[in-house]
Amino acid sequence: MDVLVFALGALLALLVAWDLFQTVVVPRPSPGRFRISRYVVRDSWRLVKAIGRRGPVRLRDTLFGLFGPGAAIMLLGIWLTVLSFGFGLMLFALREGLQPVPPDLGTAVYMAAASILTIGYGDIVPTVLATRVLVALAAMGGLGAVALVVTFLFSLYGSYQRRELRVVTLEAAAGAPPSAVGLFESYARLGVLDRFPPLFRAWEEWSAEVLDSHVAYPILGFFRSSHDGLSWISALGTVLDAASLVVTTIEGLPRGDAELARRVGSHLVEDLSNLGFGEGQVAWLQRADFDAACERLEAAGYRLAPRDRAWAAFETARLAYAPRLEAMANYWGVPATSWLGTTEMLRSPVHRDDPAPPHPAIAPRPSTPPLGPG
């Protein structure tokens, strides 16, 4: 009997060590079946979503916003708890090597927890080599778990802050929620169409960094933006829509940077969706919505390719990312891409000494004032 108890305790301790190693140390996805964190995060998120969707909007936003950071802290507590039970079972199986001998399993778990948390009251003392080794391993395991989780939290928040920086800055041009049409209208109104290539290069780098961090630490997907109406998913979808429009529909803008940003961003979406972050029905873009966007782009002064050819090419390009992106937005309960969203910026005139020179993407229209500030 004591052999089975010891084996069960050793199994629990090994499961915690394996889960910590895969979750914190290994910088790549590890979707194995024997993962404590996998089931804890997945099932608790289902519970939180069920509660949030049945309550008022304020409660839902609060619960969803607290889940990501709360899950990281909850994992530390669960790892330490399971580790305490594991070492407690092993110490109970070897209880004759402790003084005084623990009368029950609860006392042995108490001693294991005191060792893991390095409290060391000394009310129960190991007296033989086997129990001394176990107590030392428990102390090292507890210190190691706390140190790894603290490092893990610093890494998570560093990645989160770098992710949100681009998301927040995009709001200034694309609105909240952001939209590709609003982005093009804002840049045309300001006369800064030359900023598109740097924008796409920056989001290409952003996508590569988010791909590296969010695939390695999927819990980052549960960290929501601190600004209402924004999410990293809606921002990414906006940039990918803008890049796809440049590649397939809008003439006169450089297409190389847009194509590279679209490829890297689509790679990010595909890899994350393959981890199982998808839920709900996907709303497909209709031709009428595309035509409405084209009318707004033409009204802003852009030269467009023939509608039928552009629609076929744009629909094909958008299939590489849009359905997966919307399914992930449904899963995490965050705003999805706002295709025809309007931007509230630039209501007041913008003045500068020299007007912006005409850009090749802007069609000349003699009957109307030139696009630019003012």
Which of 150, 183, 211 is at the close of a domain? Answer: 150
Q: Is 223 inside a domain boundary?
A: yes
Spatial separation of the C-alpha atoms in residues 242 and 264, rounded to whole Å:
14
> Looking at the predicted structure, is the pLDDT value of residue 1 above 90?
no
Q: Is 163 inside a domain boundary?
A: no
User: In total, how many domains does the chain have?
Assistant: 2
Are 221 and 323 members of one domain? yes
pLDDT score at 358: 47
DSSP letter string over 156-167? HHHHHHHHHHHH
Span 22-72, pLDDT tens digits: 888 877 766 566 778 888 888 899 999 888 888 788 888 888 989 999 998
Residue 27: give the domain boundaries: 2-150
pLDDT score at 350: 33
Q: Is 113 inside a domain boundary?
A: yes
Least confident window among 2-16, 21-35, 111-125, 355-369: 355-369
Q: Is 359 inside a domain boundary?
A: no
> Three-class SS of residue 303?
strand
Span 223-280, pLDDT tens digits: 988 777 788 999 999 999 999 999 999 999 999 999 999 999 999 999 998 888 887 7
Asked whether the beta carbons of 83 and 138 are under 8 A apart, the reply is yes
Are 10 and 119 members of one domain? yes
The helix or strand, by DSSP H or E, that contains position 304, with its residue range, turns out to be: strand 303-304
Are 74 and 181 members of one domain? no
Span 304-343, pLDDT tens digits: 999 999 999 999 999 999 999 999 988 998 887 777 664 3
Asked whether the beta carbons of 303 and 361 are under 8 A apart, the reply is yes
Are 229 and 128 members of one domain? no
Q: Is 261 inside a domain boundary?
A: yes
Asked whether the beta carbons of 83 and 102 are under 8 A apart, the reply is no
**Would you state the structure tokens that stand for residue 205, as one six-digit string?**
């780098």
Are 207 and 129 members of one domain? no
Are 249 and 128 members of one domain? no
Q: Is 362 inside a domain boundary?
A: no
Are 144 and 213 members of one domain? no
Confidence of residue 368 (pLDDT cuts 50, 70, 90): very low
Are 207 and 257 members of one domain? yes
Asked whether the beta carbons of 118 and 144 are under 8 A apart, the reply is no
Between residues 33 and 19, the one the model is more confident about: 19
Spatial separation of the C-alpha atoms in residues 106 and 101, rounded to whole Å:
12
State the average pLDDT over residues 346-374: 39
Are 133 and 204 members of one domain? no
Which of 101, 117, 150 is at the close of a domain? Answer: 150
> Three-class SS of residue 305?
coil
pLDDT score at 109: 93
Are 86 and 141 members of one domain? yes
Are 298 and 259 members of one domain? yes
Q: Is 30 inside a domain boundary?
A: yes
Span 105-159, pLDDT tens digits: 999 999 999 999 888 777 888 999 999 999 999 999 999 999 988 888 888 899 9
Are 102 and 207 members of one domain? no
List CB contacts of 94: < 8 A, sequence separation 6 or more: 2, 6, 128, 130, 131, 134
Between residues 371 and 248, the one the model is more confident about: 248
pTM for the model stands at 0.81
Least confident window among 102-116, 174-188, 271-285: 271-285
